[in-house]
Structure 1
Amino acid sequence: MSVTTQLQDRIRRGLHDESGDVPGWVLITLMTAGLVMIIWGLAGPALSGIFEQAIDRVSGI
């Protein structure tokens, strides 16, 4: 078997490997969840206040 054939076989096996990078996806998911929690914690009270003001204005008509 030539070097070229061996390289082609490795590339084919790599392309058909469906195991994926599980630790990478877990890290991305955890980091995204962390960012959402931080943003929600910072912006949540302000958004809640804006929503309550809007409801009060609509109800006050």
Structure 2
Amino acid sequence: MRIKRQIELLFLGAGIWIGNCTINLAGRIKRNERGDVPGWVMITLMSALLVAALLAIAGPRLEELFNQAIDRVAGMG
């Protein structure tokens, strides 16, 4: 039981030390307030390409499912 408590205290101390180091390092880093515009552009383009690819692959099936759902709601199916 004593060893378990010592290990817990060791990990607690290590966690506090790492937290303090992280806070000190974050305080030293100067951040650019403009943001990462090229990164956001890349993420937006990749998202748009992913949506376009999914629609190209699953588009006909999604259209069929949509039409079936509308027909059921309208009482035609």
**Band the TM-score falls in, shorter-chain normalisation:** 0.5 to 0.7
- Stretches of structure 2 lacking an aligned partner (at least 5 in a row): 1-24
**Based on CA coordinates, which of the two structures has the bigger radius of gyration?**
2
Please, which moves more after superposition, 37-46 or 47-56?
Answer: 47-56
Structure 2 residue aligned with 1:56, among 71, 74, 77? 71
Measure how far apart 1:19 and its partner are. Answer: 1.0
- Count of equivalent residues: 51
Question: What RMSD over aligned residues (CA atoms) do the two structures have, in Å?
Answer: 2.5
Structure 1 residue aligned with 2:48, among 33, 36, 50? 33
- Stretches of structure 1 lacking an aligned partner (at least 5 in a row): 1-7
Matches of 1:45 and 1:25, distance apart in 2 = 31
Q: Match of 2:60? A: 45
What is the TM-score when the length of structure 1 is the normalising length? 0.62
Kindly provide the CA deviation profile for residues 27-54 of structure 1, in whole angstroms up to 9, marking residues without a partner as x: 0110000001001111111011112223
Measure how far apart 1:11 and its partner are. Answer: 2.8
